[in-house]
Amino acid sequence: MQLDEMGLLREAALIDGQWLSRDDMEVTNPATGGVMGHVPDCTGAETDEAISAAERAMRDWKKRSHAERANLLMAWHDLMLSHQTDLGKILSAEQGKPLAEAKGEIAYGASFVRWFAEEARRINGKVIPVAGKKLLALKEPVGVSAIITPWNFPNAMITRKVAPALAAGCTVVIKPSDLTPYSALALGVLAERAGIPAGVINIVTGRPEVIGKALTESPVVRKLSFTGSTRVGALLAEQCAPTLKKLSLELGGNAPFVVFDDADLDAAVEGAMQSKFRNGGQTCVCANRILVQAGVYDAFVERLAARVDALHVGPGDAPESDIGPMINAAAIEKINAHVSDALAKGASRASRQRDLPANYADPVVLRNATVAMQLASEETFGPVAPVFRFETEDEALEIANGTPFGLAAYFFTRDLDRAFRFGEALEFGLVGLNTGAVSNAEAPFGGVKHSGLGREGAQEGIEEYLETKAFHMGLAAT
């Protein structure tokens, strides 16, 4: 891989401003299966050092003015955008998504840094009127924060957590996915260049069970923010219970995407393409179940299949690629199992079949999907679009809400009454009406039920890193 600045590809962990280099773990390129490089497999003791560094750095960081923290965040933001192509190339190589999409993620990631740099200036407390004294509600940083991030958005899931933490006055220890550490480490290089002091951002690479244990057991860490599976989220919550940490958990989804007879069908197909095939379907908010009303079912399936037939599947560095390789063999195995199960239970292919190398998944539209199929109750996390038929609004609602997950839901209708009725009845944290996109820095992002706790982005995102202190001031009567 050729970068304008090869120094952005850092094969080292970042602890207290020192780069710790060791060739312990391989990082592979999912398109080629080749080794991209190595990173240290940090020990529990090294993670503890990172936690102590964050604790020391926070003494000064939390006292800096909000404006100063905002300026440093903006400097970091500007460096991300001026290195967008190099960061995109690193991300595409380690994660697999096409370069154009990877560069889009860098811009998306930077948008959180900008948003929270701006929000830093608006961390306001309150003055509460009480007889005989002054009562202030003060906002204070929660403390050293552990940030555990996934492989599907190796840049944006870090900035969505770290930017509000830093804006609030917290310091962080980041554990990036062991599959995609280089995007995180490049962010560390740029944070250093932006002037963010040593110890404010620490990045430990290695095995999740070792680093996760040290982070969750530490009494110094007061906050954990995690994006990943519901199973691991629940495990981390359990590990955090003895030290009662504040938690943000962005977990699995099983998004319904509902198209009513009165929908603008072109917009619905466009929305389905956007939602379903973003990052090759490896997104928590991707449509997992496409429900289409009987009157437009055949027309929708036909149009969606034509769009899917036109998709180009190939390596992320080929300009024509729309979908890159899947992250690993386990991902391919799950996708294939879901498709085989659906076909065995009566679904049929509505789109063409491609002959692809083993690390790629064939994007497919499946006609006649039913709730008895595995893909109705589990997140496929791949480019599989099963289309379910429904007759009535009540039936659509029952299927849509018939999941323990509650992250994102989408629906398409031109009926205003239904828009409110159905949108309010959906049991999800994010709802898209006539759109396939629900992710931006200004929107509170997060789920209900098994999809997690807390919100990221928006004004809510910074509250996750703040505590409120009630400061009662007994004053002489004036």
Measure the CA–CA gap between 359 and 137, rounded to whole angstroms. Answer: 54
Q: Nearer Cβ to ligand SIN, position 102 or 123?
A: 102
Q: What are 202's strand-pairing partners?
A: 173
- Is residue 159 a contact point for ligand SIN (CB under 6 A)? no
192: annotated active-site residue: no
Name the minimum Å distance from CB 364 to ligand SIN: 21
284: annotated active-site residue: yes
List the catalytic residue out of 42, 170, 240, 284: 284
**Per residue in 21-40, is it b (16+ CB within 10 Å) or e — as a string?**
ebeebebebbbeeeebbbbb
List the catalytic residue out of 46, 250, 456, 463: 250
**For residue 303, which amino acid is it?**
R
Burial bucket for residue 238 (CB in 10 Å: 0-12, 13-18, 19+): exposed
Name the minimum Å distance from CB 162 to ligand SIN: 15
What phi and psi, each to the nearest 5 degrees, are found at residue 349? Answer: -75, 130
Using Cβ positions, the residue closest to ligand SIN within the complex turns out to be: 439
- Is residue 149 a contact point for ligand SIN (CB under 6 A)? no
Q: Nearer Cβ to ligand SIN, position 387 or 430?
A: 430
- Interacting positions 96-135 with ligand SIN (CB under 6 A): none
- Is residue 380 a contact point for ligand SIN (CB under 6 A)? no
- Is residue 216 a contact point for ligand SIN (CB under 6 A)? no
Measure the CA–CA gap between 463 and 174, rounded to whole angstroms. Answer: 19
Can you say how many angstroms the Cα of residue 184 is from the centroid of all Cα atoms in its chain?
Answer: 14
Name the minimum Å distance from CB 97 to ligand SIN: 12
Q: How many residues bind ligand SIN (CB under 6 A)?
A: 8
Helix 181-194 / helix 156-168 crossing angle, nearest 10 deg: 40
Name the minimum Å distance from CB 112 to ligand SIN: 9
Element (H, E) at 433: strand 430-433
Binding piece for ligand SIN, criterion CB under 6 A, among 32-40, 115-123, 203-211, 279-287: 279-287
C-alpha distances (whole Å) from 402 to each of 234, 289, 394 are 21, 11, 12
**Per residue in 365-403, is it b (16+ CB within 10 Å) or e — as a string?**
bbbbbeeebbbbebbbbbbbbbbbbbeebeebbebbeeb
Binding piece for ligand SIN, criterion CB under 6 A, among 53-61, 175-183, 281-289, 367-375: 281-289
Name the minimum Å distance from CB 397 to ligand SIN: 24
Q: Is the CB of residue 139 less than 8 Å from the CB of residue 468?
A: yes
- Is residue 254 a contact point for ligand SIN (CB under 6 A)? no
Measure the CA–CA gap between 437 and 453, rounded to whole angstroms. Answer: 21
- Contact map string, positions 283 to 312, toward ligand SIN, x by CB under 6 A: xxx---------------------------
Q: Which of 84, 111, 152, 183 binds ligand SIN (CB under 6 A)?
A: 152
- Is residue 227 a contact point for ligand SIN (CB under 6 A)? yes
Measure the CA–CA gap between 253 and 452, rounded to whole angstroms. Answer: 9
- Is residue 439 a contact point for ligand SIN (CB under 6 A)? yes
Residues that bind ligand SIN (CB under 6 A): 152-153, 227, 250, 283-285, 439
The catalytic residues are 250, 284
